[in-house]
Amino acid sequence: MRAASLLVLAALTPAVLAAQYDPSISSAVESITAADIAHRVGVLAHDSMRGRDTPSPELDQTAAYVASEFQRFGLAPGGDDGSFIQRYTVRTVRPDQAKSVLQVDDEPTWRVGTEVARWRGVTGPKGMSGPTVVVSGVPDAPDQLAQLDLEGAVVIWVVPMALGADLGREVYRTYVALRRRGPAALVLVTRSSTESFQQRLRSGLRREQRYGSDPVAPVVEVQDITIGPALGRHGFDLRTARRATDAPLQVTPLPDLQLTVTLAETVLEEVTGPNTVGILEGSDPALANEYVVFSAHMDHVGVGRPVNGDSIYNGADDNASGTVAIVELAEAFAKMNRRPRRSLIFLTVSGEEKGLWGSAYFAESPPVPMEQIVADLNADMVGRNWKDTISVIGKEHSDLGATLHRVAAEHPELHMTPVDDLWPTENFYFRSDHIHFARRGVPILFFFNGTHDDYHRPGDETEKIDAEKQSRITKLMFYLGLEVANADERPRWDPESYRQIVEQQ
């Protein structure tokens, strides 16, 4: 009997052994309660927090609240200068129209806001130039664009569109794929309607908030009538390219064409946004230098257009719910007598609603090397919709999906079924903070209950949160995180997913 028992013990994973022989796990899980969740969501989504815009004093209050909880739990600080707060720069800028131009040798200078629409980017005073290539035609496979070598080139993209058509979703996807090839500049050549092009001319001159200060590869748009003659003089017939609407993808070098894109701007204001970072050190000397991250964004969209007299966009589900899940998880793990083998990072970021700013900064300036982070479990909107299911996006991209389903099956008392991405056409995998981990090779899972009628509206209020349901989702994340943190091996990517998400970004 004793020998049989030893064989059974030998077959158990460290996580299962910990769950069976560490009684503090039960008290840790029991600390995740609906009452605590409701209270904390009420704090973060109260009208006095004014929607936690990035940047805002109320967002700083939110970060300070989370930091104080991390400190109370006994976590180690992972922010700046021994604190729990990590700060990144946010600039308010205005494009400098007089200095923002598209120059082609021996041609007139075309100005942003007049002949050129600015999409994004900023350059130094000398602009961006390089070998000029024209990309035309239509890709015959989704990954064909990922094979192109456009690094450092000025890419003129003949956008495939019928006369009078406007830029649609498929065009935008191709634009993103080309931008990821690392061109020095991207020039979109379109035949958009006059009205839509005029709108983009105006929008390119608006002031904007932006994270970071490094020059960003410029993207501009011109119309056929503007650039077509210049292309023709350098050997590329734009009219012929337009007539061949179903032509295959083609890259045409134009070695004699010198093209420079200059996008200048004036900095109007410079402030900072906060992330909050707490670390629980692992117990295994061999694995404590590896980390599992639990992440959520704590910002929302602030104060906006009144709806039925209410102008405060409280963001209870989006994403006070996710932030509170991270705080609850930090408290639960800190209560354990035997800490997980790997270390844990509890991360709440800001600027998600503005463009994933805070998570981008964390990924660029992490408190530990990114290659030592083995997984990111991200919670964004986990307090509403279906009672006993939660969409977990990204399950197919690594063996974290199989681990999640096994863990959920081992805890039927949670009555929580993880389901696939229910909205694949919405590209939610690329729209929350986990993507900055995935792009750097970290397997992720994204816990998301989907949007609702109150999404980005003042009706996203505390009283609509299903705190009992959220408590069960948070407990599922606890058991999953414990399993990943205690496993002998780190999670593994699906090879094809790794190629598409990490290598071909």
Rounded to two decimals, what is the model's pTM? 0.86
Predicted pLDDT of residue 4: 43
Q: Which DSSP symbol is given to 131?
A: -
Cβ partners under 8 Å of residue 181, min gap 6: 145, 146, 148, 149, 150, 151, 155
The Cα–Cα gap between 120 and 266 comes to: 14
Predicted pLDDT of residue 283: 97
Strand order in the sheet with 154-158: 117-122, 216-223, 185-190, 154-158, 132-136, 250-253
Domain with CATH 3.50.30 in the chain: 97-263
Q: What are the C-alpha distances in Å from 147 to residues 151, 172, 177, 268, 505? A: 11, 18, 10, 40, 11
DSSP of 153-191: -EEEEE----TT----HHHHHHHHHHHTT--SEEEEEE-
Dihedral sign (CA 179, 172, 305, 458): negative
Determine the topology of domain 14-91+269-503 in CATH.
Aminopeptidase (3.40.630)
Domain with CATH 3.40.630.10 in the chain: 14-91+269-503
- Decide if 231 contacts 158 (C-beta within 8 A): no
Predicted pLDDT of residue 21: 59
The Cα–Cα gap between 320 and 204 comes to: 33
Residues in a beta bridge with 310: 307
Predicted pLDDT of residue 411: 97
R_g (Cα) of the chain, nearest Å: 25
Strands, E assignment, 331-410: 343-349, 373-379, 389-393
Predicted pLDDT of residue 163: 44
The Cα–Cα gap between 221 and 198 comes to: 11
Question: What does each of the 505 residues of the chain score in pLDDT, given as a tens digit?
Answer: 444 444 444 445 545 454 445 788 999 999 999 999 999 999 999 999 999 999 999 999 999 999 999 999 999 999 999 999 999 999 999 999 999 999 988 788 999 999 999 998 989 889 999 899 999 988 877 678 888 899 999 999 999 875 456 667 677 778 888 988 899 999 999 987 888 899 999 999 999 988 875 667 899 999 999 999 999 999 999 999 998 877 888 999 999 999 999 999 999 999 999 999 999 999 999 999 999 999 999 999 999 999 999 999 999 999 999 999 999 999 999 999 999 999 999 999 999 999 999 999 999 999 999 999 999 999 999 999 999 999 999 999 999 999 999 999 999 999 999 999 999 988 899 999 999 999 999 999 999 999 999 999 999 999 999 999 999 999 999 999 999 999 999 999 999 999 989 986 6
CATH no. of 97-263:
3.50.30
